[in-house]
Amino acid sequence: MTVAHDFSPGELNREATFYVAGHRGLVGSAIVRRLESAGFENIVGRTSAELDLKNRDAVLGFFAELKPRYVVLAAAKVGGIMANSTYPVDFLSDNIRIQVNVLDASRQVDVERLLFLGSSCIYPKFAEQPIREESLLTGHLEPTNDAYAIAKIAGILHVQSVRRQYGLPWISAMPTNLYGPNDNFSPAGSHVLPALIRRYDEAVASGAASVVNWGSGSPRREFLHADDMADACLHLLEHFDGPDQVNVGSGTDVTIREIAETVASVVGYTGETEWDTTKPDGTPQKLLDVSKLARAGWTSKIPLSEGLERTVAWYRDHIGSLREK
């Protein structure tokens, strides 16, 4: 029988078992770094080879043995605009299965505090900007990522339902477009920032006279460093409670053309940039309203310029050992 837990703001117990699902990914690895620096002593992660989160029996068995007190669900099938629109079945099916398994298993062992992570693409394509949490389910989704968005919306509902039916104080956060170390830099699968870093850096190395980016360059996106995201996650776990998702962003956006120019200048590329308008633009603008997060006591600390410099340095240190998918 599930035992309801009350939430009271304050430090989580540093000795309790803390399971980070997706601990090697962009967000999960940043959360592990943040938890380590905050003094957590029992952080647990499993690679997908060690524990396939799509395998229900394996996940239930793992939780029954580990009995974590805290969980962050940062494991997901993720990708950029092209991967999302090419493999919608994978984005829907894998994510729903991962979420249902981890959330059911967490409930069976009464996880005291759980943070579910989604994405800003859950909001309608033409949501009023900046996008408030209340815009959820008020309009049609962006078709290139509707399958992924529906899976993440199901996760929010799952967390709300557990709160209602079982009284566990679990929460959800929706990050804007994230970037940083351990990202996917593969040209076909990646999000725009890692794609641009790799493309411009390779152009510098090869002496290419021009590069070709996707789309028109006019969409606007907001970028947040994964270390900022991880800091926000711990803050929310310790200080926030409520059924509705919380937006996590930097509060400012730029056009894709502007971010391309910035990346070119950081890596030292001086050639031409062309735009392939046969590739999709996606949502015209995605800027989150972060006032709820600010009221909860957190704002972004890593400026885009600094975060970019750090990410380019990380990328250059890891060429040769990058994920290729």
Q: Report the DSSP beta bridge partners of residue 225.
A: 179
Total residues binding ligand GFB (CB under 6 A):
26
CB of 118 to ligand GFB, least distance (A): 9
Judged by CB under 6 A, which of 81, 92, 114, 232 binds ligand GFB? 81
Binding flags for ligand GFB, 6-45, as an x/- string (CB under 6 A): ----------------------------------------
CB of 174 to ligand GFB, least distance (A): 9
Binding flags for ligand GFB, 233-262, as an x/- string (CB under 6 A): -----------------------x------
The response to whether 176 counts as a known ligand-binding position is yes
Complex with ligand GFB: residue 177 or 245, whichever CB lies closer:
177
Please indicate whether residue 148 is annotated as part of the active site.
Answer: yes
Complex with ligand GFB: residue 42 or 186, whichever CB lies closer:
186
Any idea which residues carry the catalytic annotation?
Answer: 148
- Residues that constitute the known binding site for substrate: 199, 214, 221, 281
* Contacting positions for ligand GFB (CB under 6 A): 80-82, 84, 119, 121, 144-145, 148, 177, 190-192, 195, 213-215, 219, 221, 256, 279-283, 286
